[in-house]
Structure 1
Amino acid sequence: MAWQKSSGYNQRSRIETQIGRWKVVIGHKLKARTFENQKTEAKIGVRVLNQMTELGRPNFERTA
């Protein structure tokens, strides 16, 4: 497992998972025509995905 840390595999895997989520939830391409509207569409998509990710993330509490 040391090769994963040394090569950055874990981070790459997380990024690929996020891109996969983006494509499933938002779509494979932006629908806006102008660049400004595309930037806005991307920002909205990022906020939606961040909220969805936050909902599924567990909260850890120390018990000892």
Structure 2
Amino acid sequence: MKVSVEEDKCCGAGHCVLAAPEVFDQREADGIVILLDPSPPLALRDKVAEASFLCPAAAIVVED
């Protein structure tokens, strides 16, 4: 699994961090997403998929 984020789309809602804190964080200054692990283990697949689904800006891209 490969994860990427489009920072310019991110609105700082934070749903990704709540869904998958092992993979996502937010910048202190503006709340924009920080990708902690672009190749998370498959055990986190459901959490990452939920984070992508919940993102109101569609800023998270997940590839298998």
> Greater strand share, 1 or 2?
2
TM-score normalised by the shorter chain: which range applies? Answer: under 0.3
TM-score (structure 2 length as normaliser): 0.25
TM-score (structure 1 length as normaliser): 0.25
